[in-house]
Structure 1
Amino acid sequence: MTDIKTILVPVDGSKGSDKAVDFAISLAQVYKAKVNFLYIANINQLAINACLSDAILDAVTKAGDSVLDKALEKVPHGMQAEAFSETGSPAVTILEFVQENKNDMIVMGSRGLGVVKGVLLGSVSQYVVENAKCPVVIAK
């Protein structure tokens, strides 16, 4: 396998996401890699109206911060980790983030908190597996 220096872990607070965090930390220890946690506020699900109120945006931001803090708390002392928060379509945002930040691998849960479920994989994980240009590990 190629040299793994950074691992991206999209997080949403789901059980699958928690498993991905644990697995990514284990991999990062083996490769001595940095872990990037990414929370994405799915504006597709939130944007019922064209305008989102400040209260909704604040609630989404706080939820994201909480999920990211929980992931960062699991990182052992001495391991490099960073948290990022974005808004957009999760699948597309994950792939854009990987490319812009030159992550070497993606570790993600098979299903998240999304409303629409895929048959075998969640729609986000399925899209990422099919379109990523780096290795993708699905933690179950």
Structure 2
Amino acid sequence: MTDIKRILVPVDGSETSDRAIEEAIKIAEVYNSDIHILYVANINQLAINACLSDAILEAVTKAGNEILEKAANKVPEKLNVITTSETGSPSVTITDFADEIKADLVVIGSRGLGLVKGVLLGSVSQYVVEHAPCPALVVK
């Protein structure tokens, strides 16, 4: 990892995704990297696409835009930040997007599961670690 020009940070509004943004900023400041912030609306959890009303889709889009804006506002003006909102399965969408933008690094927040919170990776971060086309840094 000697040349990190594009850092992908998937966000969901959680504390761990906020910490992932903070870590990505530290790395970007050293390498003068672009930070790509990605929000993925997990439509699969809401309902089948054909059954979603316009009001639900509008609410999901609005919530995603607010999360992206909050995350982008954390990035210092001296760094280039690009925000993107997608819909679909977060795991696959994140790895596909990393490939599409030719990310040099993915910085993603972890999440604990059950009683062993903090020990196990969340299913999305685990998938990204295993399938990303570049190195992935998981932030607790």
Q: TM-score, normalised by structure 1?
A: 0.91
Q: Distance in 1 between matches of 2:49 and 2:33?
A: 41
Instruction: For 1:77 and 1:6, locate their aligned partners in 2 and report how far apart those are by CA, in whole Å.
Output: 16
CA distance in 2: counterparts of 1:99 and 1:106, whole angstroms? 10
Is 1:93 aligned to residue 88 of structure 2?
A: no
What is the aligned partner in structure 1 of residue 7 from structure 2? Answer: 7
Equivalent-residue separation in structure 2 for 1:118 and 1:93 (angstroms): 24
- The aligned amino acid for 1:73 is N
- 1:4 deviates by 0.3
Equivalence for 2:79:
79
Residue 33 in structure 1 maps to residue 37 in structure 2: no
Cα distance in structure 1, aligned partners of 2:49 and 2:11: 25
**Aligned CA distance change for structure 1 residues 54 and 125 (closer, same or farther; 3 Å):** same
Deviations 1:44-96 (A, max 9, x none): 10115741001110110000000000011111122100100000000000011
Which AA in structure 2 matches 1:26? Answer: K
1 CA distance for matches of 2:124 and 2:118? Answer: 9
TM-score normalised according to structure 2 size: 0.91
Instruction: Give the Cα separation in 2 of the matches to 1:82 and 1:15.
Output: 20
Once the two structures are TM-superposed, the CA of residue 119 in structure 1 deviates from its matched residue by 6.9
RMSD over aligned Cα, in angstroms?
A: 1.8
Asked whether 1:45 is paired with 2:45, we answer yes
CA distance in 1, matches of 2:48, 2:84: 25
8 Å CA contact 2:4, 2:31 repeated in 1: yes
Once residues 111 and 83 of structure 1 are traced to their aligned partners in structure 2, the CA distance between those partners, rounded to angstroms, is: 22
CA distance in 1, matches of 2:127, 2:118: 10
Which segments of 5 or more consecutive residues in structure 1 lack a partner in the other structure?
Answer: none
Deviation at 1:132, TM superposition (A): 1.3
Rounded to whole Å, the distance in 2 between the matches of 1:77 and 1:49 is 37
Partners in 2 of 1:48 and 1:61 — Cα distance? 16
- 1:64 partnered with 2:64: yes
Describe the superposition over 1:13-44 as per-residue Cα deviations: whole angstroms up to 9, x where unpaired.
01111110111011100111000000000011
Distance apart, 1:2 and its partner CA: 3.0
Structure 1 residue runs of 4 or more that deviate by more than 6 Å after TM superposition: none
